[in-house]
Structure 1
Amino acid sequence: MRATAVSTFLFILILIGCSQPATPTATADPSPTNTPTATADAGVVEIQPTESSADDGILSLADGWTQIEPGGETRCAHDTPFAFWVRPGTVNKLLVYFQGGGGCWNEETCQVGSSFYDSSVGVNDSPERRGGILDFDHPENPFADYHAVYVPSCTGDVYLGSNLQTYSTDDGENIEIYHRGFVNLNAALNWAFENVLAPSSVFVTGCSAGSIGSIRAAPHLIHNYPDAEVVQLGDSLGFVFDEPTAVDSIYGTHQSLPNWIPAFADFDPDAFTMADFYNAVAAFYPQNRFAQYNTEADSVQVRYHLAGGESAETFAPALAEAISAIHLESPNFRSYTADGDIHCIMPGNLFYTREVAGVRFRDWVTDLAAGNEVANIQCESCGVAYGPTGATSEPAWEQIGIMPTPRSENRGVVLNGRFYIPGGWGGESVFEAYNPADDSWETLADLPDGRHHFMIAAFDDKIYLFGGSPANAYAPTDTAWVYDPTSNEWSAIANLPQPRFAGAAVTVGDAIYIVGGKSNTGATPTLRYDSVSDTWTELASLNQASEHVAAVALDGKIYLFGGWEQPGIEFSRLEIYDIATDTWADGGNMQFKRGGLAAAVLAGKIYVVGGELLSTGQTQDHVELYDPATDEWAEAVSLPHSLHGFPLLSYDDALWIIGGSDLAGGEQNRGRILRYQPAE
């Protein structure tokens, strides 16, 4: 078997060749003609500085990020405008970052509203929300002073496309997709070449699909900045499958190949392997350095590996083989392979804390970018390791699988042995149920209106969903619904007394209580809902108003944990509500302050898990254990990775996590199903 490394979704193109789904119909489309652009015969971006660029260029912009809409032949998949962001620095060095964004390859995956890829550029694509190397205020960011160009993904072709493609459905409908990823990439590079003149060094990188963008852009950056030290790093790039990948017939990749590199004269883009591409570029530019970062159990890569007919156990050795294929031919290639299953490290704060073999990833990248020699770093074991290692008899968190629609900033409930997971960022209208008995998922009736940051509870064999924020917004609403699993139908119920989101709902006796959260009226009293009369009662407010909280009910009391008064002012507080007296009292504080956390009851104790600190831009892996009988806290087994905004469910003597995000203040949805069963 020959393992090869490809992009975030390119294995799907293998499946096109193997399973022969409906054949897409290509529509003739000229080569990109935006000005300036690639030459027809070589694809080299040749730029002569204009009068405007000869002036201060990027330094003429205001501090912070500026959005650029280049127009011309650029566009997103459904013929909407493409844009990228730029940011002036204080030194003449350049950071180029390519965003991940999935991909599409047929009439089903390319349809409007598909969850397989990002098809537009919007507010959620802004680099303002990112962490890691995109947090320019972080004191340890090695690129804090660099000029920056941030390129979103919106074409479903991992930056390889120069094509207008028509996909035909069985009923005769035609879906036109502008696979213009390379055209968009080209426009962003053109802007840089005109406005960032003669930088001393360039660091080009990208996450997931953006990894393809980074190695695809590297030859153009080296060619047009001949005096700069250009370094490339692909983040979570090493997808591995058994067959080369066809990319030309759908995306028109031949129009964008760097044909001035001799190896590409005989390069077949319909037999694409990432190892071949790396080796061709690295051989032509032996003075430059190229690199990859991967985790040996990357949850996203494993998901596609499984869909390609392989097993989870074969992923780590296949990944090592793919990386070795580059090492064997390219002495100027470096790799850092870590344990765990995190997908993408550069845009998150794990960038600053990840350490393998005594080498911190942040330091490794800093040396790589500075031109210093770095070693190839490999985790000690290529086996999957969940949770802490060392001499301990305490079980660790284990990954069970991946949810069909990765989401975050949502909640879930257990009802009659099934986990019901509605809405959230990444699928605000999606409603899916998981059966842990046979590890299966079922798609249920969509939410009547898409929601995230809602409150949810189960009562009397029904599921109640309250408030939250509508899709494409970040503001509370007062609507509420009940879902009947028997009929698979949603019905409207009485609205909340005031709009509310980012609170918590718990069931106690014959009533449901809403605690904490944020309202646009300022008032957030405790609310009690009576499902029989469909009425609300307002009760006592928290001692300290707090949103993005977690809460559980136990023995006639409600325990509310953490949250924040406003973003950046987080709490470690515990407040306890006595239902009999309608009063809130303070309990012992958690060790770690955080919002966006989750809580669940298991064996009479309360586990408080994960969370985020917007004040530092960090997600949390902390797990704390609270004993209500003694009002005492203890540390429990940490998560295998930091996480916030997820359902935490207690079922069958174990805790279950479904999905969540590891990007503080944003969605970088992982979709992992984690299970933890404490020792007896």
Structure 2
Amino acid sequence: MLISGVLAGYVYFFILEKPAEPNKWDAAERYVWNKIKFDQDAQVISADGSEYYLLANKGAAAEDKLIIFFSGGGVAWDAETAAQPISLSHVMKNGEIKYYFPNIPFFKVSTLGGLLENNNPDNPFKDWNIVYIPYSTGDLHIGNESKEYTDAKGKPFTMRYNGQTNTRAALEWITNHFAEPEKILIAGESAGGFGAAFWAPEIAKRYPNARIYQYSDGSYLNADRWPDIIDNEWKANFAETFGYEVHGDLISSVFEANRKLLPDNAVLLQSNTLYDELLFDFEKDLNDDDSDDGEYIDLWSARMLQSAGELSDTVPGYYYYITDYGLNEKTGRTPHTLSPLNHFYKAEQDGVKLMKWLDDAVIKDEYYSVGRHFVK
């Protein structure tokens, strides 16, 4: 019922928050979300064949401060998961959020809060320019394949894992419209946290004089299947495309590689909640694990903490924020992501708000980890 209410709210607010569609970026108003369409030759598309576009918001900071934010929105890795996209009707009917968004939701603009509110005086990133890269391909922003699947009823359908082409088109637009930012926060939540990590080196190459901060929020999924999914299902051609191999602890393998691929002064940031209410369930499915949810979420949490600890010990310039903020005493679970929601302003651990931690790291260049007592 809560999910239904939230989505109903999105529908209501959509009327007030429909993105503007300026003819040219130069004519776009400040503090307004703008729909950025691509030329036909860009070959961008969503998983279900619908339109793909960017959302961009001008701040008051000219072009010297830029957030490139990769959207989350689930993941698909075979015919079964690809046949079960997230839809408003399905969520309201069944209360389930599986597995991925096959298109850009019409209410998307209404969901962009927290860090993405560049007109909020409480936001330390007020006035920053933001380019939001939507996610509607189920492939962590890196797929490069169109698959012909059959659903459980025997009906054929096409799944377009087009994240790689969509992202390249997005980065080309960004490069053409933001000449030389001084600081770039390359961020993402959930699946978008993986996308931000994957594409950070490419963005850094395009802006060799910018100070780079890469931030992944709520992005921990550990499965031995990742290399197979990425190259054999999504056809990402990962090693050739990105320059390294990945392993089961996917986000850790990317952070480790990024330390070598990014400039020496680039900062690597990660946040997770202690008992993420969604990630453990996705990871269970990825691993075909039928154990009890309570048992598995403890396993997920332990591995996430171990990963953060190992990265902190071995990767210079890596810092984490781990919190039990929002712990539901009945379910024993914590919120999934924090940064693009009102949680960004409220989440606090050991006397340090998430908002302050990110402000200190990116704006003040003061770096530290939070939630150290969780990491053993």
| TM-score using structure 2 length | 0.78
Q: 1:226 to 1:82 in 2, by over 3 A?
A: same
Alignment of 1:249-398 (within 5 A): 249-254=232-237, 258-259=241-242, 261=243, 264=244, 267=245, 273-285=250-262, 286-307=264-285, 308=287, 309=289, 311-339=296-324, 340=327, 341-370=334-363, 372-378=365-371, 380-381=373-374
2:195 to 213, 216, 225: 213
Give the letter for the 1:166 counterpart.
Answer: E
Query: How many angstroms does 1:361 deviate by?
Result: 1.1
5 Å matches for 1:64-79? 64-70=32-38, 71=40, 72-79=42-49
Instruction: Confirm or deny: 8 A CA contact 1:107 1:175 kept in the other structure.
Output: no
SS of alignment partner, residue 148 of structure 1: strand
Structure 2 match to 1:105:
77
Give the alignment of 1:446-595 within 5 angstroms.
Answer: none
Aligned: 1:123 with 2:90:
no
**Structure 1: distance between partners of 2:142 and 2:260:** 21
* 3-state secondary structure, aligned to 1:202: strand
Match of 1:190 in 2: 172
Q: In the alignment, does 2:206 pair up with 1:238?
A: no
Rounded to whole Å, the distance in 2 between the matches of 1:301 and 1:152 is 20
* Conservation of the 8 A alpha-carbon contact between 1:289 and 1:333: yes
Tell me how far apart the structure 2 counterparts of residues 242 and 122 of structure 1 sit (CA, whole Å).
31
Give the letter aligned to residue 94 of structure 1: L
Structure that is richer in helix per residue: 2
Change (3 A) 1:169 1:270: farther
Distance in 2 between residues matched to 1:244 and 1:65, nearest whole Å = 34
What amino acid is aligned across from residue 211 of structure 1 in structure 2? G
Q: Distance in 1 between matches of 2:182 and 2:221?
A: 32
Residue-by-residue CA offset, 1:628-666 (whole Å, 9 max, x unaligned) = xxxxxxxxxxxxxxxxxxxxxxxxxxxxxxxxxxxxxxx
**1:61-210 equivalent positions in 2, closer than 5 A:** 61-63=28-30, 64-70=32-38, 71=40, 72-91=42-61, 92=63, 93-111=65-83, 115-126=98-109, 128-169=110-151, 173-210=155-192
Give 1:222's aligned residue: 204
How many residues matched?
A: 320
Q: CA deviation at 1:190?
A: 0.9
Cα displacement string for residues 465-524 of structure 1 (whole angstroms, at most 9, x for unaligned residues): xxxxxxxxxxxxxxxxxxxxxxxxxxxxxxxxxxxxxxxxxxxxxxxxxxxxxxxxxxxx
| Cα-to-partner distance string for 1:12-46 (whole Å, 9 max, x where unaligned) | xxxxxxxxxxxxxxxxxxxxxxxxxxxxxxxxxxx
- Structure 1 residues 258 and 297, CA gap change in structure 2 (3 angstroms): same
Alpha-carbon displacement from aligned partner over 1:314-362 (angstroms, at most 9, x marks no partner): 2222111122232233111111111131111011111112111221111
- C-alpha displacement at 1:203, in angstroms? 0.5
| Residues 81 and 112 (structure 1), Cα distance of their counterparts in 2 relative to 1, 3 Å cut | farther
Instruction: Report the residue type matching 1:190 in the other structure.
Output: E
1:273-299 CA distance string (max 9 Å, x none) = 221121011123222011110011111
Q: Write the letter of the residue equivalent to 1:90.
A: A
Secondary structure in 2 matching 1:109: helix
Please give the secondary structure, in 2, of the residue aligned with 1:326: helix
Output the amino acid matched with 1:192.
I
The runs of at least 4 aligned residues of structure 1 exceeding 6 Å deviation read: none
Q: Which has the higher strand share?
A: 1
Q: Is the 8 A contact 1:357 1:380 kept in 2?
A: no
Contact 1:296 1:315 in 2 (8 A): no
Letter in 2 for 1:297: Y
Cα RMSD between the aligned structures?
A: 2.5
Higher RCO (C-alpha 8 Å, min separation 6): 2
Distance 1:325 1:242 in 2: 18
Structure 2: state its 5+ residue gaps.
1-23, 87-97, 328-333
Shift of 1:86: 0.9
Indicate how the Cα distance of structure 1 residues 279 and 103 shifts in structure 2: closer, same or farther if over 3 A, else same: same
Q: Provide the rounded CA distance (Å) in 2 between the counterparts of 1:86 and 1:150.
A: 6
Give me the whole-angstrom Cα distance separating, in 1, the residues matched to 2:26 and 2:369.
Answer: 37
Counterpart secondary structure, 1:279 = helix
Check the 8 A contact 1:357/1:379 in 2, yes or no.
Answer: no
Change (3 A) 1:186 1:244: closer
2:36 corresponds to which letter in structure 1?
A: I
Q: Give the C-alpha shift of residue 232 in structure 1.
A: 0.8
Q: Say if 1:162 and 1:179, in contact at 8 Å, map to a contact too.
A: yes
Letter in 2 for 1:296: L
Alpha-carbon distance between aligned partners in 1 of 2:159 and 2:26, rounded to the nearest angstrom: 36
- Cα distance in 1 for partners of 2:34, 2:208 equals 27
Measured after TM superposition, the shift of residue 80 of structure 1 is 1.2
Shift of 1:84: 1.2
Q: Which has the larger radius of gyration?
A: 1
Q: 1:89 to 1:58 in 2, by over 3 A?
A: farther
In 1, the alpha carbon distance for the partners of 2:112 and 2:349 equals 24
CA contact (8 A) 1:248 1:270 kept: no
Provide, for residues 568-597 of structure 1, a one-character-per-residue CA deviation record: whole Å limited to 9, x for no partner.
xxxxxxxxxxxxxxxxxxxxxxxxxxxxxx
Aligned equivalents of 2:84, 2:300: Cα separation in 1: 32
